[in-house]
A and B are shown apart, each in its own frame.
Chain A
Amino acid sequence: MNLILQFLFNGLATGALYAIVALGFGLIYNTTKIFHIAHGAVYTIAAYLLFSAFILLKLPLYLSILIALFGTAFFGILIEIFVYKPFYKKNAPPVTSFISSLGLYIILQNLIALIYGNQVQVLTTQPEKTFQLGSIIVSRIQWLEITTFLIISILFYLIISFTRFGKSLKALSDNPLLAEVVGIDIDSSRLKIFAIGSLLAGLGAILSALDTGIEPTMGLPIVMIAIVAVIIGGSSVFEGALVGGILLGILQALSIWQLSARWQNTVVFIALIIFLLFKPEGILGVRRRLEEIKI
């Protein structure tokens, strides 16, 4: 009994991480319809910024985290300005943006590998502090992951429901043309969206870096899971990413418990296929009539 509780808790903590990164991806996807695979590269960049500041420059941890966060948001904005916006202005078909995003991811991952090396690096060699919560062992990082997730969720809910910016996000995701007509500045909104989305990726990356270290390929598995989380949770609503992330974390933990860690990714993707076959709108999503998509 204790063992499964521990697994479930681990899954919750990992899921919290997934949810944060997925929220960033979902935010961008819902509002700009861009399949931002390079979100994975942004994630990796954040981790390496943290590494550079904290380990290489030996700056204090809090400062390093801040630098990483702002640097990441900045990178996200750069990507929008220099990659996606030109495609947008050109009215390019969405699939070309998707492929460029893929190309961009490849470029960035390999640049990082060139600069920092392909090996795994850790940020701290001290063993992780843990404490006991009932019968479960909780590590400090897991605690951070869950609390960050809760704070982000609440913040997000408040922003979406009560601020003007939040309403403009909803407008953009429902009907971008109409949003433009009612006066929402698409260009500046996109910048903000990429900044926030990238910030969220950065947050996740920092947590992960402090937990298990960094390597150039760390971004791809995460962004893959983020995408699945967004779809399973419901890709037409923002909260879907949060629900999907937590669920996938738990699903992976259960699969580790029952099968083995080797099949984690397979389980995630089989879940994706099942959803795409039977409930493509996701758990929270609204079923858009397939027929309307055909004509």
Chain B
Amino acid sequence: MSNIVLKIDSIEKSFGGLKAVRELSLFVNKGEILGMIGPNGSGKTTIFNIISGFLKPDRGKIFLNGTDITKLSPHIRADLGIGRLFQDVRILKKLTAIENVLLAQKNHSIEGPLASFFKINRIKNEKKKLTEEALKWLEFVGLKDKRDTIAENLSFGQQKLLALATILFSDPEIILLDEPLSGLDPQMKNKVLDLILELKDLGKTIIVIEHLLDFVFDMSDRVILLNNGKKVYDGSPKELRKNHLLMEVFTGNHAE
């Protein structure tokens, strides 16, 4: 029980008349990579939005390391350790790479309007520490030499890596990767896959949404299959490969 980082209890979400998520429960263990797959519209991104706090579920609860976060706003959940990567790469285009990463810092006391006047030493010390840490993560994703490049001048793939570095810098309890491989060329795809596996070695806890099934099966310890907002499979990727369920869900068979 103490091994579970994220627990979702019977959440439901409807938009108007459309039931996007039905009676969904899942959990993620520490150090585990959970793959979440399913056809378009099966509710995957909605679930991510609910976990990170951008949508409130109609019913159900969410627990992060035992704490009930269901009613908390997105920024508090981020501080508690939910690291969200968006499907459309979100970075601050006009800032440099390192400025982007540094923004994820959690010491909010240095962010007050008058902080420069009362906490100048604290800011200076923090800045040094934070910059070192930021560089470490930029190096991890291979962008160390791009630290002072304006983000909009990076390639799409590099921007994705930057977004990843930014989230990692905030030392999240759990990382939500929304289609990390989409839009990347094959070389970049493999690089990102390697990075995710490296993160697993580092003991990070991750939920991955992906459409590229081969990659998902490669990287995940466990896989969840969604269809029409419902969880229809929760278990080993190897077993799912052999399961007819996979075929049915993706070819739109009304098997469940």
Contact = CB atoms under 8 A, between A and B. Distances in A.
Interface residues of A, number: 5
A235 B42 CA distance: 32
9 contacts: A289-B15, A291-B54, A291-B55, A291-B56, A292-B15, A294-B54, A295-B49, A295-B54, A295-B55
Contacts of A289: 15
Nearest to B50: A291
Contacts of A294: 54
A243 B54 CA distance: 34
Contacts of B55: 291, 295
A43 to B, nearest CB: 37
A289 B55 CA distance: 10
Contacts of A292: 15
B73 to A, nearest CB: 11
Nearest to A294: B54
A265 to B, nearest CB: 33
A289 B54 CA distance: 11
Interface string B41-56: 0000000010000111
Contacts of A295: 49, 54-55
Interface string A257-295: 000000000000000000000000000000001011011
A295 B15 CA distance: 14
Contacts of A291: 54-56
A294 to B, nearest CB: 6
B51 to A, nearest CB: 13
A292 B15 CA distance: 9
A5 to B, nearest CB: 44
B16 to A, nearest CB: 9
A290 to B, nearest CB: 10
B86 to A, nearest CB: 9
B58 to A, nearest CB: 11
Nearest to B88: A295
Q: State the 8 A-B residue pairs at the shortest beta-carbon distance, nearest first.
A: A291-B55, A295-B54, A294-B54, A291-B56, A295-B49, A291-B54, A289-B15, A292-B15
A176 B49 CA distance: 26
B14 to A, nearest CB: 10
A295 B49 CA distance: 9
Interface in B38-86: 49, 54-56
Nearest to B16: A289
A127 to B, nearest CB: 57
Interface string A221-242: 0000000000000000000000
Contacts of B15: 289, 292
A295 B87 CA distance: 11
A93 to B, nearest CB: 15
A291 B54 CA distance: 7
Given A289-B15, A295-B49, 7 more contacts: A291-B54, A291-B55, A291-B56, A292-B15, A294-B54, A295-B54, A295-B55
Nearest to B49: A295
A292 B54 CA distance: 9
Interface in B2-49: 15, 49
Nearest to A291: B55
Contacts of B54: 291, 294-295
A206 to B, nearest CB: 43
Nearest to A289: B15
B176 to A, nearest CB: 14
A295 B55 CA distance: 9
